[in-house]
Amino acid sequence: NLQTAQTNFIAALAQCEAALEIFRAQNSGHLVTISSISAVRGFRRALTVYAATKAALTSLTEGIRIDVMDTPIKVSCIHPGFIRTEMNEKVKTAPFMIDAEAGCKAIVKAINKEKANSYVPSYPWAIMHLLLRVAPTSLIRKMS
């Protein structure tokens, strides 16, 4: 849990601070953080700390966006759904899992749009994140 928190939040915070120092000096830039669809809700078991760190990263990104509002610095938070990578290759079932190449293309497309928040791939995650927000906790428990 500590390693997950250090990697997903503390390291991301350090990288954001370093990037913002450069962006402020040059008065331009595009900060992009990679959160997760799991940032929308708390999940159980192995996803508990992961989801919490991604929610923290999403909140950090929003705070940074507010800090640099009305400047030429853009801030985007990308929330990928399930993308097959080495990290999750042993996961047997995950809804709407896509391969790494398709996932990367969706992320790049979202970054280029420079939206505040993007859920990728947009179908089905742009819709699913809304459903996850209102789903009863008992349903979330069954999903994780």
For the stretch 105-119, pLDDT in tens is 999 999 999 999 999
Q: What pLDDT does 140 receive?
A: 65
Which residues of the chain have a pLDDT value below 70? 93, 125, 129-130, 133, 140, 143-144
Q: What pLDDT does 144 receive?
A: 59
Q: What pLDDT does 71 receive?
A: 98
Q: What pLDDT does 27 receive?
A: 97
| SS3 (DSSP) at 94 | coil
Q: Is 50 a catalytic residue?
A: yes
Domain 2-139, classified CATH 3.40.50.720, yes or no: yes
Which CA distances in Å does 4 have to 27, 53, 87, 99? 33, 8, 13, 23
For the stretch 79-98, pLDDT in tens is 998 777 877 777 776 777 77
CA distance linking residue 24 with residue 84, whole number of Å: 35
Q: How far is CA 108 from its chain centroid?
A: 13
Catalytic residue among 9, 50, 82, 119: 50
| SS3 (DSSP) at 25 | helix
Q: What pLDDT does 59 receive?
A: 97
pTM: 0.84
